[in-house]
């Protein structure tokens, strides 16, 4: 679920930035695939939606933080071209954090 969207214009760079704040919803009771499959599907849908209107040369960055535990460290993926961002890239960052 998209909670907020902020569009910023960076005139010196002739660029526009779009920031999405999203909240992953819990799986529905009818969803029998399990929480891991739900997470994978949600992240894939998020990537597809976020990159849908981007050009191939556009840059994107992902930051993930816990809004409940504000002391928790933010994790992220540095700026990359559209073709270098995917659900697999985001999930690999989560995997590294979870296995620490």
Indicate the domain borders of the chain.
Answer: 2-98
- Tell which wins on pLDDT, 100 or 9: 9
Tell me the backbone φ, ψ of residue 93, rounded to 5 degrees. -65, -45
Q: What is the C-alpha to C-alpha distance for residues 59 and 51, in angstroms, rounded to an integer?
A: 10
Q: What is the C-alpha to C-alpha distance for residues 31 and 3, in angstroms, rounded to an integer?
A: 23
**pLDDT value, residue 100:** 52
pLDDT digits (tens, 9 = 90+) for 27-59: 877 767 777 788 788 888 887 877 787 887 788
Mean pLDDT within 19-28 = 80
Which of 37, 11, 33, 13 is closest to 24 using CA atoms? 37
**pLDDT value, residue 5:** 85
Cβ neighbours around 43 below 10 Å, total: 20
pLDDT digits (tens, 9 = 90+) for 55-77: 877 888 887 777 777 777 787 78
pTM of the model: 0.65
């Amino acid at each position: 679920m998209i909670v907020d969207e902020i569009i910023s214009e960076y005139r010196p760079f002739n660029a526009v930035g779009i920031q999405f704040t999203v909240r992953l919803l819990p799986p529905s009771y009818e969803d029998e695939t399990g929480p891991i499959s739900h997470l994978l599907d949600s992240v894939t849908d998020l990537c597809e939606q976020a990159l849908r209107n981007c050009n191939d040369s556009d840059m994107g960055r992902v930051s993930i933080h816990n809004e409940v535990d504000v002391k928790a460290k933010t994790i992220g993926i540095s700026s990359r071209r559209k073709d270098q961002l995917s659900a697999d890239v985001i999930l690999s960052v989560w995997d590294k954090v979870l296995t620490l």
